[in-house]
């Protein structure tokens, strides 16, 4: 995962598919997934985000190491 210059989260294809699977997003919803992502915080060189399926309420926490370009 990386954050682009506009502050948008960019996931690799593998990370995106893993997120869809964990949140139980149906393939028919992939083009406009019902997902909300919130930053939970930055600590110790890592950033935590909570991703929530807005239809089911199911959520997962994603943790990514902070790496400078």
pLDDT tens, position by position, 18-38? 999 999 999 999 999 999 999
CA distance 40 to 61: 9
Q: Which pLDDT score, from 0 to 100, does residue 69 have? A: 65
Report, in this order, helix, strand and coil percent for the chain, each rounded to 5. Answer: 20, 40, 40
Q: Is the pLDDT of residue 68 over 80?
A: no
Question: pLDDT: is 30 or 2 the higher one?
Answer: 30
CA distance 64 to 69: 15
Secondary structure element (H or E) that encloses residue 14, with its range: helix 13-22
**Strand pairing category for 9-10 and 35-43:** unpaired
């Amino acid at each position: 995962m990386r954050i682009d210059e506009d502050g948008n989260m960019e996931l690799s294809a593998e990370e995106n598919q893993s997120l869809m699977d964990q949140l139980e997003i149906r393939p028919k919803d992939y083009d406009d997934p019902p997902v909300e992502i919130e930053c939970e915080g930055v600590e110790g060189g890592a950033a935590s985000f909570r991703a929530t399926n807005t239809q089911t309420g199911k959520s997962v926490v994603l943790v990514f190491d902070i790496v400078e370009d």
